[in-house]
């Protein structure tokens, strides 16, 4: 889903501003005098929520945006026909657009006027069957997890859950391949940075950087392009940013105190994150194997509001042999922002000069093992 002007420049600026106006007209029945909320990034790239009343089955919004942008239209009440379907995500463009609801399904209206939405719809049609399969398997997976809460020791249930999860990952990869093909073929499309932003966590870091470099400047500097750049600060080739944080013992840990002497592996995790906790035994193996060769592991947890759970998780997983600090999650001091962290777990490897040399999202242990083996020679 960016003063001294001559008259000519002033005129051009005025024209550019007028071209950023959108006008959205809609028709919907059954919700007379209810309100709709439209949320989007405006021309200054700031999130804005506008409200409109449904009168005589019609509603209307207008405003300014700098580019095609992802917007959310939401009813202020639950749809009585479908309790989960009271919001719509779509591409809003700086043009005149129409949204028409032909039935009670708030999720599937007819949208006219947006070429970006038309293209996005065609791509979603290609992925429709795969998406439906993923939804079905996910429901089955969640049902098994509910059963596991009752009987945590049932090996058959655990095996069944793992198989369902593997199928979900398989089909998600298939949809990501469709996204990737589109990105490669349409670097000028605003949909491309949208896809790349949401898929980059599961991609090879070098591939992300290579694809981003194919975008023209207007796409690189679009809202999703900027969001990608904010994550690239923690990618290989960038300089690791320094930070100070309190460790488990209440002492101040200074990242650059390790610079020049040690290789550093940052582990972004949380006590509630199942795949994060699952990687703890492997981190202990890495620490045992490479500590004497100069590797230091630093755990960075998002448990800022769950200190007790954080300390208990460190104790249970025996990861107090590493430096453990809190991320400052969602605060101005958030360490995660310095490294472009969104989903976790993420592991970032830094060399002795302070340069990032590897990044791993998820638990692809073979990737990290390969990097470390090449680095240390065994």
pLDDT tens for each residue of 41-85 = 999 989 999 999 999 999 999 999 999 999 999 988 665 555 555
| Consecutive H or E run containing 282 | helix 280-290
How would you class 28 by CB atoms within 10 Å of its CB: exposed for 0-12, middle for 13-18, buried for 19 or more?
A: buried
The secondary structure of the chain in percent helix, strand, coil, rounded to multiples of 5, reads: 45, 25, 30
- Could you say which DSSP state residue 103 is in? S
What three-state secondary structure class fits 63?
strand
Bridge partners of residue 215, in order along the sequence: none
Burial 345-361 (b: 16+ CB within 10 A, else e): bbbbbbeeebebebbbb
Mean pLDDT by 10 residues, the chain (378 residues): 37 44 92 92 92 94 95 78 71 95 76 94 90 90 81 77 86 90 96 94 89 96 94 94 93 95 97 91 96 96 94 96 93 92 93 95 86 93
Q: Look up the pTM and report it.
A: 0.80
* Distance separating alpha carbons of residues 259 and 263, to the nearest angstrom: 8
**Beta-carbon contacts of residue 114 (< 8 Å; ≥ 6 apart):** 68, 90, 91, 92, 93, 95, 97
With beta carbons less than 8 A apart as the criterion, state whether 254 and 323 touch: no
Cα→Cα distances 358→46, 265, 337, Å: 33, 9, 17
Contact assessment for residue 45 and residue 66, using Cβ atoms and an 8 Å cutoff: yes
Terminal CA-to-CA distance of the chain, rounded, Å? 44
Which residues are paired to 89 by β-bridges? 72
Q: Which residues of 225-235 are buried (b: 16+ CB within 10 A; e: fewer)?
A: bebbeebbbbb
Contact indicator for 90, 194 with CB cutoff of 8 Å: no
Angle between helices 115-150 and 155-185 (to 10 degrees): 170
The answer to whether the peptide bond before residue 251 is cis (omega within 30 degrees of 0) is no
**What whole-number distance in Å separates Cα of residue 348 and Cα of residue 340?**
11
- Owner of token pair 């793992």: 162
Q: Which long-range contacts (CB under 8 A, 24 or more apart) does 193-196 make?
A: 193/219, 193/220, 193/222, 193/224, 193/225, 193/227, 193/228, 194/1, 194/70, 194/224, 196/224, 196/228
Q: Which residues, 6 or more positions from 194, have their beta carbon under 8 angstroms from its beta carbon?
A: 1, 70, 224
Kindly list the distances between the CA atom of residue 68 and the CA atoms of 126, 223, 314, in Å, as whole numbers in the listed order. 22, 10, 45
Q: How far is CA 22 from CA 52, 65, 115, 243, in A?
A: 15, 7, 14, 43
User: What residue ranges define each of the domains in the chain, with the CATH number in brackets?
Assistant: 7-113 (2.60.40.10), 117-232 (no CATH), 244-376 (3.40.30.10)
Angstrom distance (rounded) from CA 229 to CA 221: 9
């Amino acid at each position: 889903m960016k003063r001294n002007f001559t008259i000519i420049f002033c005129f051009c600026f005025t024209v550019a501003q007028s071209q950023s106006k959108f006008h959205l007209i809609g028709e919907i029945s059954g919700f007379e005098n209810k309100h709709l909320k439209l949320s989007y990034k405006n021309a200054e790239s700031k999130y804005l929520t506008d409200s409109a009343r449904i009168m005589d089955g019609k509603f209307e919004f207008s405003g300014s945006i700098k580019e095609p942008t992802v917007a959310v239209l939401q009813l202020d009440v639950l749809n009585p026909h479908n309790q989960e379907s009271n919001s719509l995500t779509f591409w809003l463009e700086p043009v005149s657009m129409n949204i028409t609801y032909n039935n009670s399904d708030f999720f599937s209206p007819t949208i006219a006027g947006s070429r970006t939405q038309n293209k996005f719809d065609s791509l979603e049609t290609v992925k429709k069957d795969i998406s439906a399969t993923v939804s079905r398997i996910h429901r089955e997976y969640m049902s098994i997890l509910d059963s596991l809460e009752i009987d945590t020791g049932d090996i058959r249930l655990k095996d069944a859950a793992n198989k369902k999860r593997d199928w979900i990952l398989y089909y998600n990869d298939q949809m990501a391949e469709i996204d990737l093909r589109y990105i490669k073929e349409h670097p000028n499309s605003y949909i491309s940075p949208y896809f790349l932003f949401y898929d980059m966590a599961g991609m090879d870091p070098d591939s992300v950087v290579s694809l981003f470099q194919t975008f023209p400047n207007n796409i690189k500097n679009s809202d999703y392009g900027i969001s990608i750049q904010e994550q690239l600060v923690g990618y290989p080739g960038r300089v690791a940013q320094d930070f100070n944080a309190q460790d488990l013992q209440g002492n101040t840990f200074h990242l650059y105190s390790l610079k020049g002497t040690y290789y550093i592996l940052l582990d972004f995790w949380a006590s509630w994150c199942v795949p994060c906790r699952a990687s703890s035994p492997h981190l202990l193996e890495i620490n045992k194997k490479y500590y004497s060769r100069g590797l230091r592991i630093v755990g960075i947890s998002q448990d800022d509001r769950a200190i007790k759970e954080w300390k208990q998780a460190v104790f249970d997983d025996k990861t107090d042999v590493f430096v453990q600090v809190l991320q400052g999650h969602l605060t101005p001091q958030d360490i995660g922002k310095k490294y472009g962290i969104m989903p976790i777990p993420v592991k970032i490897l830094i060399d002795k000069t302070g340069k990032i040399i590897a990044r791993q999202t998820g638990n692809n242990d073979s990737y990290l093992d390969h990097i470390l083996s090449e680095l240390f020679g065994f």
